[in-house]
Structure 1
Amino acid sequence: MKQLILMRHGKSSWDYEVSDKDRPLLQRGINDAHLVSNTFKNKAPKIDFAYSSPANRALHTSMICLRNLNFDLNQFRVDKALYDFSGDNVQRFVKKLDNTIQVVALFGHNYAFTSLANTWGDQYIENVPTAGLVHVIFNTEDWSKISKGKTEQVIFPKHLK
C-alpha cells in the first residue's frame, strides 16, 4: 500500500516586495503548521521520504512539520516540480516515485493540492486551506498506478481551534 500526505503551506505574507517564491510565512502560518503537525503526529504513519516545493513558505512549513514528527531530514529533498498550482506537475512527480518508498509527504500549493486530494481521495474537499493536511492511502504497490484511494485523514487548522 502506498500512502501520500499532502500538506499545503501555511498562511504567507504579502507585506514584502519579494518574488512569489520568496514570500515568507505569517506568524499565523507558523502557528498553524505547528498545530496541524502536532495533531497529525498522534496518527501519522512513518514517513519514508518527504519533498517540498522550493517556495519559502512551503519549505518553512515542511521544516516545522517534519521536525515536529522527528523526521530524519536526510530523507528530505526540495523539488521544483512541486512549485505547481495546477496539479499536473505534482501528479507526474508522484507517479514517478520510486516504488521502494511506501509513505511520502509532499509540501506545496493550491489549487494543486485540492485538485489532487479530490482526484485521489474518496472525500470531496472544497478547498485545502493553508496548513491543511490530507492523507490518502492507495491499494497498490506501484506509484505509477495510483488512482482513487481512501482519504484516511483530513486535518485543517480551523478544526483545531
Structure 2
Amino acid sequence: MKRLILMRHAKSDWSVGMPDHARPLNARGRKSAEALGDWLRAQDILPDQVLCSSAARTRETLDLLNLGEVMTRFEDRLYLAAPATLLKGLQGASGETVLILAHNPGIGDFAQGIVERGPDHPKFGAYPTGATLVADFETGDWSDVRMGSARCHAFAVPRDLLT
C-alpha cells in the first residue's frame, strides 16, 4: 500500500505587494499550517518524502508543519501545476507516504480526480487553503497509480482544526 497526503498551501498574505511566487503566509496561514502538522502527527500520518512547489508560501507551510527531517524535493513544475503534472510527479515518487504540497486550482482538481469517491465534507470541492486529503492506494509502486484509483482515508481543513 502507498499513501498520499495532498495539501494545498496555507493562507497567503496578499497585502505584501510581492510577486505571486514570493508571497508568504499571513498570520492565519501560519496558525493553520501548525494545526495541520499537529493533526498529521495526531493521526500518525507522516510522510517519508515531500514533493513541494518552489513557491514561498508552500515552503513556509512545509516548515510550519514541523515534520522533522524528511526527504524533500522543491520543484518549480509544481508551482500552479495542472493535475497531469501532479500525477506525473507522484508516479516518480519513491517514498511509502508522500506529501505533495502545491496550489489551486490544480491540487483541488487532482484531489477530486485521484479518489474513487471523495470524502463527505462540504469543503472538499472547493479545496480551500490548507485543505489536506489523505488517500491510500493498493499498489507497491507509484508508477502504477492512475486517476480514480485511491481510497479516501481522511480529509481536513484548517478551519475545522482551529475551532
* TM, length-normalised to structure 1: 0.89
Counting only pairs closer than 5 Å after superposition, residues 32-111 of structure 1 correspond to structure 2 as 32-65=32-65, 67=66, 69=67, 71-73=68-70, 75-98=71-94, 101-111=95-105
Q: Which amino acid aligns with 2:83?
A: G
Aligned position for 2:158 = 157
Structure 1 unaligned spans of 5+: none
In structure 2, C-alpha distance between the alignment counterparts of 1:21 and 1:46, rounded to whole Å: 26
Give the secondary structure class of the aligned counterpart of 1:130: coil
Contact persistence 1:51–1:105 (CA under 8 A): yes
Give the secondary structure class of the aligned counterpart of 1:151: strand
In structure 1, C-alpha distance between the alignment counterparts of 2:132 and 2:58, rounded to whole Å: 13
In structure 1, C-alpha distance between the alignment counterparts of 2:32 and 2:17, rounded to whole Å: 24
In structure 2, C-alpha distance between the alignment counterparts of 1:134 and 1:127, rounded to whole Å: 12
Q: Which amino acid aligns with 1:123?
A: G
In structure 1, C-alpha distance between the alignment counterparts of 2:142 and 2:23, rounded to whole Å: 32
CA RMSD of aligned residues (A): 1.5
Q: Which amino acid aligns with 2:111?
A: A
In structure 1, C-alpha distance between the alignment counterparts of 2:91 and 2:57, rounded to whole Å: 25
Structure 2 unaligned spans of 5+: none
In structure 1, C-alpha distance between the alignment counterparts of 2:46 and 2:10, rounded to whole Å: 22
Give the secondary structure class of the aligned counterpart of 2:25: coil
Aligned position for 2:22 = 22
Identity, in percent, stands at 26
| Residues 1-25 of structure 1, C-alpha deviations (whole Å, 9 max, x = no match) | 1111011111111112221100110
In structure 2, C-alpha distance between the alignment counterparts of 1:84 and 1:154, rounded to whole Å: 21
| 1:40 shift after superposition | 1.9
Residue correspondences, number: 155
Among candidates 93, 97, 109, match of residue 115 of structure 1: 109
In structure 2, C-alpha distance between the alignment counterparts of 1:87 and 1:26, rounded to whole Å: 26
In structure 2, C-alpha distance between the alignment counterparts of 1:87 and 1:120, rounded to whole Å: 9
In structure 2, C-alpha distance between the alignment counterparts of 1:87 and 1:44, rounded to whole Å: 27
